[in-house]
Chain A
Amino acid sequence: MMNYFPDEVLEHVFDFLESHRDRNAVSLVCQSWYRVERFSREKVFIGNCYAISPERVIARFPRVRSLTLKGKPHFADFNLVPSDWGGFVLPWIEAMARSGVNLEELRLKRMVVSDESLELLARSFPNLRSLVLVSCEGFTTDGLAAIASNCRFLTELDLQENEVEDRRGQWLSCFPDSCTSLVSLNFACLKGEVNLAALERLVARNHNLRSLRLNHAVPLDALQKILMQAPQLVDLGTGSYVHDPDSDTYNKLKSAVQKCTSIRSLSGFLDVAPRCLPAIYPICLNLTSLNLSYASLIHNSELIKLIHHCSQLQRLWILDCIGDKGLGVVASTCKELQELRVFPSDIHGVGSAAVTEEGLVAISAGCPKLNSILYFCQQMTNAALITVAKNCPNFIRFRLCTLNPTIPDPVTMQPLDEGFGAIVQSCKGLKRLSLSGLLTDQVFLYIGMYAEQLEMLSVAFAGDSDKGMLYVLNGCKKLKKLEIRDSPFGNVALLADVGKYETMRSLWMSSCEVTLGACKTLAKKMPRLNVEVINENDLIDASSDDRQKVEKMYLYRTLVGPREDAPEFVWTL
């Protein structure tokens, strides 16, 4: 029946498909759907920049206006991937510039972005509206200056947790006076000074600004002036929040904040002076998102007083110095909570136990809507996990990180297999799971058996034998990303079902028992996989012993064969 509809109708129907997965599915139905879909797709998502080439993406989707790219493997976030591994955005920008793509949005995660790339981006795409960089590196504030100067219709510049070299070149002042289109500006991760006067003028003339996240170099008196100009803000990241609470500036801040009745999301507080938090109490009632995970200088008692005001919170990111008691307060106050992240505050020394399993249990009991958790803690018990599983069957993301990666249940001295088993059995919609603590093959048996919707699994220092990994590969039908470190999984597990890897985006194994020979075998059998071996000490070459264990292996499906930009310590077999 659909064949009798003209293309425009099909296109109109496809317009309603938001997710790229739906569009991918639709494009597989038949040739004409494939054709209509590809000419109408404007938002393209590439989960692994080496799975395909920019030229082929552009050829298939000539009307692409928004591109999302992810580069390095997830474990790169934790220094497990050598720098210079790859993930360069420049070839993508060059290809799009050459082809005359009308790029409006670019979203990058874990990619290497040079100033040259940013300059080319700014020059080549006059309609660029949105640039979002998450966990990227390789650029300086000079690159940002190029973006500010040239992108006349920029609405969004969002820099999240990037490593940016500060050149002190007044990049913020490069926004011309004619720039009035900004909706979102986030430069919280920048280390250097910004021209405060330029910032205030920028905010004053951009009346559509909804989201503003400042860096630590913006002091409280500047914040106060900015808020006076932008009471319409919905999302605010304060800079340094230090001032004398008895001063005139602070009083002005209080009245400025009171006018900001639209603020729903708050973050920052990178430096905090005591007794200054009450200024924000008036807006706490409206907050749905609060990120205090960089505010380690807030005193615990002030923090808890603050939480008491935040009854509408849906998302909370916090440091573990809130303690179990503080989490109890969260549990009794924040009944709408959906996502909680508790980060460690003391990683260099031996800290006192800040949060334990008790805090997690309290949250699970008090917050019925909880579906996403990242929890760093000193210890965890099976009993607690079982309780949490019972209280919260709706978890979509469950990430637990014990600071000692192989700590058992301190009460029973047993591994945490049963606890995690309960989680996967109860949470039928679980898509992402990170394990820690003492774990045997048993936990993987449970995961393979119950985690039917699981897409991403992170494993560290866990398991006893190949059986563990096999349970997962055989059982988790929807698995997309598997990353394993320091676990005794080897060749038998790796080679048991080679076809599985084409159904996944990628597999990472480091400090496991996999040998070079097995990687070679796998690469030979599966030409549409790139099997990369990264050895820190010895470069792999023709004379290498096949029985040698590889230190790091990263394999991913790809349509374009081995990449040409691999450094010498990465060998694609």
Chain B
Amino acid sequence: MEQDFVGMATEVSSYSNEAELELGLGLSLGGGLVKAKGSPWGEYGKIMTAKDFPSGFCGTKRAADYGGGGPPDVGYSAPPGVSQVVGWPPLRTYRMNSLANQAKVLNDEEEKRVGGNDECNGALKENMDNGSNKNDTTVKDNGQLGFVKVNIDGMPIGRKVDLNAHACYKTLARTLEEMFCRPSTTINSNCSGGQEKGKGTQPSKLLDGSSEFVLTYEDKEGDWMLVGDVPWGMFLSTVKRLRIMKTSEANGLAPSFRERNDRHKNKPI
């Protein structure tokens, strides 16, 4: 199985000089790392636990925690993790998207000046390069994307992920992993020292260690594609929604995917 994916990725990648985009294998959920050659996804197979959140946030869930009297012994500065609580701050998706778009505009300009952040440097650069090749409309598409739906096989409920918060596949993958390894990102679940409180069988399946999942997306033409084969910017302009597919099903996807990508190679951008 592993072989197939490595082969497929190298074969269809039309951007062979961008080594970091070769998606050797799909999303490795649950901590089991499956590396392909030069895959940048190797490092992210980490599951966040309670200790990844600044204690100031987790430790203050209720007054009862400190007996309702004296001051607690942890700091209360707004932690970076605040924005990862689902639905907090309570803002409409539409507004979140608009803010993200405008922040991105400012950020991109900053990045151009400063030279990009470490993680997404290569990806960001090619994003901007591609940006200059696109017509205005597509750039506007990039800017207005925001939240897209993401489903994982086996879980009936979909979630939404903010694509504007990412500049490359790495961070997106990490976010998705967090999202689906800890089903409900609330104080209740993530502060119990990692115990899942019997919230369902899904987490334990993922913790088996095998990468049974692959990240795919549906593009504007309705085709399902493997995530990671096209430059980030192009991905943004064409993605409609995401699906974390069982590897077995994605295998079936491969042949038609290969054909389609051959067609894409010949299509003007």
Contacts and interface: CB of A to CB of B under 8 A. Distances in A.
Does B associate with A? yes
Contacts of B80: 349-350
Interface stretch (A48-56, A79-87, A361-369): A79-87
A536 B89 contact: no
B149 A486 contact: no
Interface stretch (A91-99, A221-229, A230-238, A408-416): A408-416
A181 interface: no
Interface string B43-75: 000000000000011001111100010011000
A141 to B, nearest CB: 13
B87 A78 contact: yes
A347 B99 contact: yes
B120 to A, nearest CB: 14
A408 B77 CA distance: 10
Nearest to A487: B62
A83 B76 contact: no
B156 A539 contact: yes
Contact of A161 (B78, B86, B95): B95
Interface stretch (A115-123, A147-155, A187-195, A200-208): A187-195
B78 A403 contact: yes
B199 A537 contact: yes
Interface residues of A, number: 70
Nearest to A547: B198
A343 B189 CA distance: 28
B103 interface: yes
A464 B78 contact: no
A69 interface: no
Interface in B151-183: 155-160, 165, 183
Interface string A524-560: 0000000000111111000000001101000000000
Contact of A343 (B95, B144, B159, B187): B95
A191 B144 contact: yes
Contact of A77 (B71, B93, B149): B93
Contacts, number: 162
Contacts of B160: 79, 83
B19 interface: no
Given A191-B140, A404-B57, A348 B103 contact: yes
Interface in A151-165: 161-163
Given A78-B87, A410-B76, A486 B188 contact: yes
A350 B78 contact: yes
A538 B154 CA distance: 10
Interface residues of B, number: 60
A404 B56 CA distance: 10
Contacts of B183: 536-537
A296 B87 contact: no
Contacts of A75: 87
Nearest to B87: A78
Interface in A391-432: 401, 403-408, 410, 413, 415
Contacts of A79: 86-87, 93, 147, 159-160
B242 interface: no
B87 A485 contact: yes
A509 B149 CA distance: 23
A567 B158 CA distance: 12
B78 A378 contact: yes
Contacts of A438: 60, 63
B207 interface: no
Nearest to A296: B102
A80 B64 contact: no
B187 A461 contact: yes
A21 to B, nearest CB: 27
Nearest to B96: A347
Contact of A82 (B62, B93, B103, B157): B157
Query: Residue among A79, A296, A403 with the most chain B CB within 10 A?
Result: A79
Contact of B90 (A78, A82, A415): A78
A311 B206 CA distance: 59
B128 interface: no
B90 A461 contact: no
Contact of B184 (A378, A406, A440, A551): A551
A344 interface: yes
Contact of B92 (A135, A403, A405, A538): A135
Contact of B140 (A192, A376, A408, A458): A192
A464 B62 contact: yes
A193 B90 contact: no
A537 B89 contact: no
Contacts of A191: 140-141, 144
Given A345-B99, A464-B68, A568-B156, A403 B165 contact: no
Given A161-B95, A296-B99, A536 B184 contact: yes
Contacts of B121: none
B132 to A, nearest CB: 19
B99 A80 contact: no
A250 interface: no
Contacts of B199: 537, 551
A14 interface: no
A410 B78 CA distance: 12
B186 to A, nearest CB: 5
Contacts of B90: 77-78, 401, 434, 458, 460
A161 B183 CA distance: 28
Contact of B186 (A488, A511, A568, A569): A511
Contacts of A548: 198
B72 to A, nearest CB: 7
A534 B156 CA distance: 11
A464 B155 contact: no
A467 to B, nearest CB: 12
B133 interface: no
A408 B76 contact: yes
A217 B136 CA distance: 11
A79 B106 CA distance: 26
B33 to A, nearest CB: 25
B92 A161 contact: yes
Nearest to A511: B186
Contacts of B61: 406, 461, 486
A407 B76 contact: yes
Contact of A537 (B82, B93, B201): B201
A434 B90 CA distance: 11
Interface of B: 56-57, 60-64, 68, 71-72, 76, 78-80, 82-83, 85-96, 98-100, 102-103, 105-106, 137, 140-141, 144, 147, 149, 155-160, 165, 183-184, 186-189, 197-202
Given A346-B103, A349-B80, A537-B155, 16 more contacts: A78-B87, A78-B88, A79-B93, A82-B157, A83-B149, A161-B92, A161-B95, A191-B144, A294-B98, A404-B56, A404-B57, A438-B60, A439-B63, A460-B90, A464-B62, A569-B156
25 contacts: A77-B92, A78-B88, A78-B92, A79-B159, A79-B160, A83-B158, A162-B94, A189-B94, A191-B140, A294-B102, A296-B102, A296-B103, A297-B105, A347-B89, A403-B82, A404-B79, A405-B82, A438-B60, A440-B63, A440-B64, A461-B61, A465-B64, A511-B188, A536-B155, A548-B198
